[in-house]
Structure 1
Amino acid sequence: MIRDRKILHSIIYLLLLLGSVVMLAPFAWTVSTSFKTQQHVFDIPPQWIPDPATWDNYTDVWTKAPLLHGFMNSAIIVVFVLTIGLFVSAMAAYAFSKFEFPGKEVIFMALLGTMMIPYSVVMIPQYIGFSELGWVDTLLPLIVPGLFGNIVTIFFFRQFMQGGIPTDLIDAAKIDGCGFFRTFMTVALPISKPAIAAQAALGFMGIWNDFLGPLIYLHTQERQTIQVLIASMQSNYISQSNYPSLMSASLIALVPVILVFFFAQRYFIESMAITGIKG
């Protein structure tokens, strides 16, 4: 029995290892290509370790393309949407999880129902509305909707607060004279730090990697985000076959995502574990 279990575990680990290799191979090729010269990109057999290796692709793409403007525009969107949007989502989730009011379940189910509406359905009406407001070619269409929270984030926070925040703490705060907002700020919000950190990391990756929204609303190069700038590099800043420079720009844009995920990864497991507990 023990031997059969060891064999089964060995097979599982082998499959996981093979899956990891398959998943990491494109990323390894991207890193390798970013250090290659143009004539060695399609060598057969491929050179996973470039010889010769060069940093010129990174310096060229940073000087030719306005990546700094793209970084700043993406950072502005991320900061506003995450700081305000997460706070609003957490407050809404707190109300749905710890308060009883008429129509609570109906309202919550209606909010969840909006998740089924494809973005392509509301894309044109949203563009017309933002165009009438004069917000096209500004960052406002990408910032303002996110300030009112996100349905997926509200659902996640609600599940976390139902299992991770004891009702006794809420009752104790009420006895001490705390109102809704003070109880939320002093009890619910500190306990929800793992969930907030996990959703902040996921939200950061979603906003930072967003391509369709900036492509629709941002027209001038000075207002484009980093992802749109990278997509337009082949037509505006480098030749269409300059894959080393394109891979270099992609890795530069990927650095913030890797750093955020690296520092927030422990919160994913903690928040997911507490979310599954019913209290």
Structure 2
Amino acid sequence: MAEYTGSLTSDVQKEVPSYPDWGPLDLSMRPLLHPRLVMIPEGISEFTFADLYLFRHTYSYRITMLPGGTFAISGHKEGKRFFMLPCGLPEWDVLEDLFRTHDFLKNLSESHCREFRPRLEEKGYVVEEDRDNFDYLYRREDLADLSGRKYHKKRNMIKAFINNYTYEEVPITKARIEDALAVLEAWREEKGEEGDYEAAREALILCRPLRLRGYLYYVDGRPAAYTLGEPVARGRMFAVHFEKALSGYKGIYQFINHAFAATLPKHYRYINREQDLGIPGLRQAKMSYHPCGFVRKYKVTKK
């Protein structure tokens, strides 16, 4: 499929509906929302325009502009309706109205938790850590260098990969999209399940208008892996949204994790590799890279 070539500044640019009306996320809303989202200091991986847009069908996202100029996202997960407030909480009457029509507030940031937790609890709300959705943070130089005994096994896997295969790493450009899509299709067939396939596919097709960046990896002359993400947290952090590889190449995931970190400019101090969703194997894999911290997120419910 050809890469998207439409305009983000066309005459049909849609406005965000004003509360209490809600509407679907539209690609043309990026110029309005992205500048606000990229300035969120914590770098919550879900709070980028690209992530919200690409998973709009997965979670049935809807958006509204609240009084005071901030906005809310509404969604559904496992039969529950939730809302998110990426850029801050509204007035209390609006917040309580949102709780009347939703089951819980999702992804409250750590700074907003510190600021508003006392009053939330005073008003009868329960604020709790959402550990399964904590983003994993790594120092860029840790993943690029893999120094010390704790990374010994990772270095061995990478060394074996380099010794066993010839490889090439190139930025994902318009000319490389089809090869990256070929990796995704092979990954899907290998997995035998959808997973985040639809979002990953659209991310590649809309790579340029969403301003996503990444690398494609060829092994023995064939496209075998790619990494795709974007800057967050005012440009000091890079969030990896998608990482796909063919498992037939032993050590390929360890290699691309290391190789991508090594190619990132040094002004990115941290790499956000997103959450483990409470999946034990995924948690173990993420912990094995020794995160330097987490982007903590909180869930708020009414008693």
TM-score band, normalised by shorter chain: under 0.3
TM (norm. structure 1) is 0.27
* More helix per residue: 1
Report the structure number with the largest CA radius of gyration.
1
